[in-house]
Structure 1
Amino acid sequence: MTVVREYDPSRDIAGVEDVERRCEVGPSGKLSLFTDLLGDPICRIRHSPSSLMLVAEMNTEKKEIVGMIRGCIKTVTCGKKLDLNHKSQNDAVKPLYTKLAYVLGLRVSPSHRRQGIGLKLVKQMEEWFRQNGAEYSYIATENDNQASVNLFTGKCGYSEFRTPSILVNPVYAHRLNVSRRVTVIKLDPVDAESLYRLRFSTTEFFPRDIDSVLSNRLSLGTFVAVPRGSCYGSGSGSWPGSAKFLEYPPESWAVLSVWNCKDSFHLEVRGASRTRRVLAKTTRVVDKTLPFLKLPSIPSLFKPFGLHFMYGIGGEGTRAAKMVKSLCAHAHNLAKEGGCSVVATEVAGEEPLRRGIPHWKVLSCDEDLWCIKRLGEDYSDGAVGDWTKSPPGVSIFVDPREF
């Protein structure tokens, strides 16, 4: 009764939007999120190098769309190797790359669940992955979304792989102060690419096409924090370029980039009681009336809101976490100017810099669950073995195109 085929925007957009509206994201009995894709159901994947969207359609006279799935393919770092041909210590370690597929946006209409439609969508998407040379496929889901976990680990052969944390902070009615002991420098995309490739290319999940990410219109910039008073923090014209900076770095520094999700999709928190809504509104009124008090306020999350995503977080030195905190304050102020209600990021569970990332626990997720599956033989640049069995590192690189 169900046919799986490629999404056709000329006739499917209304049906896809209807399924999206009926499929709230979040565990039953708790506040849930509704995702509004701004009239573009493939916006979550169209910035990726290779992508596909499939729909499940009831093969009846009505031709009702009852499910959909999105997928994309890119090349990422899956490990590293030692290159003995290079004398420089920085050049001796090289990234190992693999072709990785990502499944996101699996939705099945509530009235058509438990009929094998989700499994059928996943299987057909995986076939497209294989045809296009993907060596691994992975998905991200809430670890307490038992239906999703059972589908992928129980029926589709995926295994639990990484448990990063999603950290979310509200955007207040007042601006945040960036530490006076820190200078924030904005890099141009070419210099930002150089910094990431020189310093982070061996980080797990680092995208080989980082240049495409940084030059995308949704990327709002890459920012480096350095101690004020250092040779790099003395004002305009003091930035020597990424290569020279990494050769002679300050004692502590940090970097992050900001991605504008607001122009791709909106979120909305549903299921909040009237009491919670009134309390949230009260905090906003007080914060807006008395901004000098710097009171944390709860933005209006109960109607469609946008977010900025912070990615590429890294740094070195004893004060690196404090540098990250200053960059997060800067990102908060960018989000305020952009009309966003929250800023978010996703980092490895053991990421040492996460203590510098402000977030509200009630809005965050301590353990997002990434599951992975090996689709075929590994043809990556060098012998990595089976990536699905590799131990986690302290850091991961989360691609903003897939958040």
Structure 2
Amino acid sequence: MGEEEKIMAAGKKMVRVREFIMEDLPAVEELERLCQAGLSGDNAAGGGGGKKKKRGMSLYAEQIGDPFARVRHAPDHVILVAECGDEVVGVIKACVRMVTRGSSSSLRKTKTKTNKFVKAACLLGLRVSPSHRRLGIATELVRRAEEWCAARGAAYATMATTASNAASLALFQGRFKYALFRKPRFLGHPVHRHRARVPRAHRVLQLPPPLAAAAYAALLPAAAAAPEFVPADLPALLAHKLTRGTYLAVERSPGAGAPSSFAVLSVYDATRSLSFRVGGAPPLLRASLAAARALDRRAPWLRVPSVPDVFRPFGAYLLYGLHMSGPAGAALLRTLCRHAHNVARNNPACAVVAADVAPDDPAAAAVPHWRRFSCDEDVWCIKKLTSVTANGNAAPAAGDDDDWTTAPPSSVLFVDPREF
């Protein structure tokens, strides 16, 4: 793609799509503010305010800091902007990375536990200025992003939105023929001032990144359901400066002859790139929570479970790579979640510990969470990409003898916190 290219006429001005330059940063940040994103962070039409379409409180999420933060980890990444005159009126981010797609049908027939890797694109952060909607700008941004990804060998493109975001679903499922794919659950729990109690019968060990990578390499393919979306660069994620640690929980004295049980998870600091806020709370609830915080400050020995001030922007620690095994696995995973809570207490910017899991993942029942800080509206969509051959004909962007878009869902989804 050239540095600048005409795409359409919007009113009396020509709109162009080009790659992001640092001089665009203030305009892109303003688009983020105008098109406030919902919990999944991707509002395709950029409008409607991203809050959940429910009465009562709603959870908002906003991207902060480095505009490339969600895509920079991938070797191939880009930000495209739509420009009308001298004004940036639209933006989209994209990256291409290698991920597992679970067990393909050919592998399932042989009953192997080998994960199949595939090159997949991730489209993120589509925003269009409210003053320039319904002009086809979002459509052109998605089309150009898909072309960019297909040219780099991506076999599939994925995106995330919410079930209530009709505009996003109409664009991706309607115009671009994306298929509804997976529906992860977001489970959040507030971080209290008091340490969570860890059972004496459990022992928590921190694994150094090389050992953590080796553990995941052995555990994930051997899981009952081969996990989807595990990144090929998992060792780099585990060693990332924002990964606060990988933790293993075991029983101190398992019964004689009892099968071994364990649980493992990793903790990622998202406070520098992601900001949450709760809106729509009634004044009485705000006042009661403020009173609980005041009481907790004055009488900490009462151990009042006061909730942080979530009506102002706050950060989160994200749990990923959750895995448990054995009869005590669920209890050990709950212990790890409590340990992660205690780790998060050391960061004043963190008010919530959260995890994204598949709805059928056994780990979902073991993760402590509050309903008001959780969400089951997120949906992932997928599309098989095509590229244009030298003779101008459409062809699959990458060889794949098994269509992932129609594969039954795995009960284990690996949600990369760098893309959240």
TM-score (norm 1): 0.87
Equivalent residue for 2:260, pick from 251, 271, 276: 251
Residues 17-96 of structure 1 aligned to structure 2 (within 5 Å): 17-25=29-37, 26-27=51-52, 31=58, 33-38=60-65, 40-58=66-84, 60=85, 63-80=86-103, 92-96=112-116
Shift of 1:207: 1.0
Q: Which residue of 1 aligns with 2:378?
A: 368
Q: Which residue of 1 aligns with 2:315?
A: 306
1:21-43 Cα offsets, whole Å, 9 max, x none, are 111222357635251412x2222
**Aligned CA distance change for structure 1 residues 220 and 384 (closer, same or farther; 3 Å):** farther
CA contact (8 A) 2:127 2:138 kept: yes
**Aligned CA distance change for structure 1 residues 309 and 18 (closer, same or farther; 3 Å):** same
CA contact (8 A) 2:53 2:164 kept: no
Say whether 1:357 aligns with 2:367. Answer: yes
CA contact (8 A) 1:79 1:384 kept: no
1:217-241 Cα offsets, whole Å, 9 max, x none, are 111110011002259xxxxxxxxxx
Partner of 1:154, secondary structure, is helix
Shift of 1:278: 2.2
Shift of 1:46: 1.5
- Amino acid in the other structure paired with 1:80: S
C-alpha distance in structure 1 between counterparts of 2:236 and 2:149, whole Å: 21
1:349-399 Cα offsets, whole Å, 9 max, x none, are 00112111011111211241010000033746xx65100000012111111
CA contact (8 A) 2:154 2:397 kept: no
Q: Which residue of 1 aligns with 2:408?
A: 391
CA contact (8 A) 1:227 1:250 kept: no
C-alpha distance in structure 1 between counterparts of 2:76 and 2:372, whole Å: 35
Q: Which residue of 2 aligns with 1:195?
A: 215
C-alpha distance in structure 1 between counterparts of 2:237 and 2:370, whole Å: 28
**Aligned CA distance change for structure 1 residues 318 and 118 (closer, same or farther; 3 Å):** same
CA contact (8 A) 1:321 1:354 kept: no
**Aligned CA distance change for structure 1 residues 22 and 252 (closer, same or farther; 3 Å):** same
Equivalent residue for 2:239, pick from 206, 215, 225: 215
C-alpha distance in structure 1 between counterparts of 2:262 and 2:54, whole Å: 43
Say whether 1:225 aligns with 2:235. Answer: no
| Root mean square deviation, CA, Å | 2.4
Equivalent residue for 1:8, pick from 11, 21, 24: 21
Equivalent residue for 2:228, pick from 195, 204, 210: 204
1:190-210 Cα offsets, whole Å, 9 max, x none, are 000001111114411111111
With 269-278 and 322-331 compared, the bigger mean Cα shift is at 269-278
Equivalent pairs counted in the alignment come to 375
Partner of 1:129, secondary structure, is helix
Shift of 1:174: 1.3
- Amino acid in the other structure paired with 1:18: E
C-alpha distance in structure 1 between counterparts of 2:365 and 2:107, whole Å: 34
- Amino acid in the other structure paired with 2:383: K
CA contact (8 A) 2:80 2:145 kept: yes
C-alpha distance in structure 1 between counterparts of 2:319 and 2:120, whole Å: 22
CA contact (8 A) 1:7 1:54 kept: yes
What stretches of structure 2 of length at least 5 have no aligned partner? 1-13, 38-50, 387-395
1:3-61 Cα offsets, whole Å, 9 max, x none, are 1111101x1011111111111222357635251412x2222222233211111111x2x
**Aligned CA distance change for structure 1 residues 174 and 379 (closer, same or farther; 3 Å):** same
TM-score (norm 2): 0.84
Identity, % of aligned positions: 41
